[in-house]
Copies of this chain bind each other. A is one copy, B any other.
Amino acid sequence: MAEMVSNKQVILKDFVSGFPKETDMYVTTSSIELKVPQGSNGVLLKNLYLSCDPYMRPRMTKGEGSYIESFKPGLPIVGNGVAKVLDSENPEFKKGDLVWGMTGWEEYSLVTAPRLFKIQHTDVPLSYYTGILGMPGMTAYAGFFEVCSPKQGEYVFGSAASGAVGQLVGQFAKSVGCYVVGSAGSKDKVDLLKNKFGFDEAFNYKEEPDLDAALKRYFPEGINIYFENVGGKMLDAVLLNMRIQGRIALCGMISQYNNDKPEGVHNLTCLISKRIRMEGFLVPDYFHLYPKFLEMMIPRIKEGKIVYVEDKAEGLESAPAALVGLFSGRNVGKQVVEVATE
């Protein structure tokens, strides 16, 4: 009989409507055996870092038509994380491996059908694998380079630009010689975009009563590429300001996730008159590019050519507030929760 230990967990209380609240989750303590059942193909993980991502909001709603399963009330939240393998019955992983991928919001997780990547490069902070080197990083990479087909000198706009994905999209765009403007929801974030991430310009959308006018100010010649993270009114304003044969990569629509019925978007005829391609994408379709992505990213991160800002919450108890904070824009940079150090 293996060791039983206590296991702190963040549980979803019930399905959520409207803005999620901290009280939609609770922290409890159960116990877990630090051993994988023989022949189960599973792994036993010690969770180190947990990722708070906007796509998790739709999972808190009773699932209809979503591309991923809903969370299950009464069970731990599920999300991306960085973890250490404590035990394995899976031939791909062994005790001591560091991994990132889907895990539970708890101290220890038994994962029976692992969707995990092994972490090879440990000379960068491990928490980076919840962000710049993990799912959000790959999202920025696939969305910008594969979906947007950028060309040197093009005008690029990104919304939610200081977030985990947006900050990287802006840096990628600069790296291929584009002009980049980002929008975010506070002065601090705008400063970050301009002074840390090297955006050419940035603005606080909350201080712009007329988004169309704001975009016309920053893009007098229009937008070639829009990297969409928010949806709703911003998308409508962007449509009016796109250039002919522009591209819109639909990564997310965080402004809509808490609405019972999403806002209507009115200016879609612009897609015709300007021959625009608007394309939704999901990062798992691009995971075959992950090795190529890492090869590009690791040296650039080490040389300081790509920078990264994360907002780290300490301890599993802080996880519900950290997740909820995403939807009011409380976080500055990528929101991660540190559960334990290695």
The B-contacting residues of A in range 205-259, CB under 8 angstroms, are: 231, 235, 240, 250-253, 256
Interface segment, A31-39, A263-271, A291-299?
A263-271
Q: What mask results when residues 87 to 120 of chain A are scored 1 for a CB within 8 Å of chain B, else 0?
A: 0000000000000000000000000000000000
Copies of the protein in its oligomer: 2
Q: How far is the CA of A269 from the CA of B261 in the complex (A)?
A: 11
A-B contact pairs, 9 of them (CB 8 A): A231-B268, A235-B268, A253-B272, A262-B269, A263-B264, A270-B280, A275-B279, A277-B279, A278-B278
Contact A251 B272 (CB under 8 A): yes
Contact of A240 with B274 in the complex, beta carbons under 8 Å? no
Binding site for B on A (CB under 8 A): 65-67, 231, 235, 240, 250-253, 256, 261-282, 285
Give the distance in Å from the alpha carbon of A256 to the alpha carbon of B268 in the complex.
10
**Contact between chains at A266 and B271 (CB < 8 Å):** no
Q: Which residue of B lies closest to A247 (CB)?
A: B279
- 16 extra interchain contacts, Cβ-Cβ under 8 A, other than A67-B272, A273-B282, A278-B279? A65-B273, A67-B274, A250-B268, A250-B271, A250-B272, A251-B272, A253-B269, A261-B266, A262-B266, A262-B267, A263-B266, A264-B265, A271-B278, A271-B280, A274-B280, A275-B280
A271-B268 Cα distance, complex, nearest whole Å: 13
In the complex, are the beta carbons of B282 and A272 less than 8 A apart? yes
Contact A253 B268 (CB under 8 A): yes
Q: Point out the residues of chain B lying under 8 angstroms from A67, CB to CB.
A: 272-274
Asked whether, in the complex, the Cβ of A281 is within 8 Å of the Cβ of B273, the reply is no
**A273 CA to B280 CA in the complex, in Å?**
7
Q: From B65, B240, B270, B278, give the contact of A240 (CB < 8 A).
A: B65
Residues of B within 8 A of A271 (CB): 250, 278-280
Most buried by B among A66, A268, A275, A285: A268
Evaluate contact between A277 and B277: CB separation under 8 angstroms.
yes
CA distance A335 to B265 in the complex (A): 31
Specify the chain B residue showing the minimal Cβ separation from A251.
Answer: B272
B268 touches A272 (CB 8 A): no
List of B residues within 8 angstroms of A282 by Cβ: 272-273, 275
B240, B266, B272, B280: the one contacting A280 at CB < 8 Å is: B272
How many Å from the CB of A140 to the closest CB on chain B?
Answer: 15
- B269 near A268: Cβ-Cβ < 8 Å: no
Which chain B residue shows the least CB distance to A262? Answer: B266
Q: Which residue of B lies closest to A282 (CB)?
A: B275
Contact A272 B285 (CB under 8 A): no
How many Å from the CB of A53 to the closest CB on chain B?
A: 14
CA distance A76 to B266 in the complex (A): 31
Residues of B within 8 A of A231 (CB): 268-269
CA distance in complex: A240, B65 (Å): 8
Residue of B nearest to A276 (CB): B280
B277 touches A285 (CB 8 A): no
Centre residue among A65, A67, A269 by max chain B CB count within 10 A: A269
Cβ–Cβ < 8 Å partners of A267 in chain B:
262
Which chain B positions have C-beta within 8 A of A264? Answer: 263-266
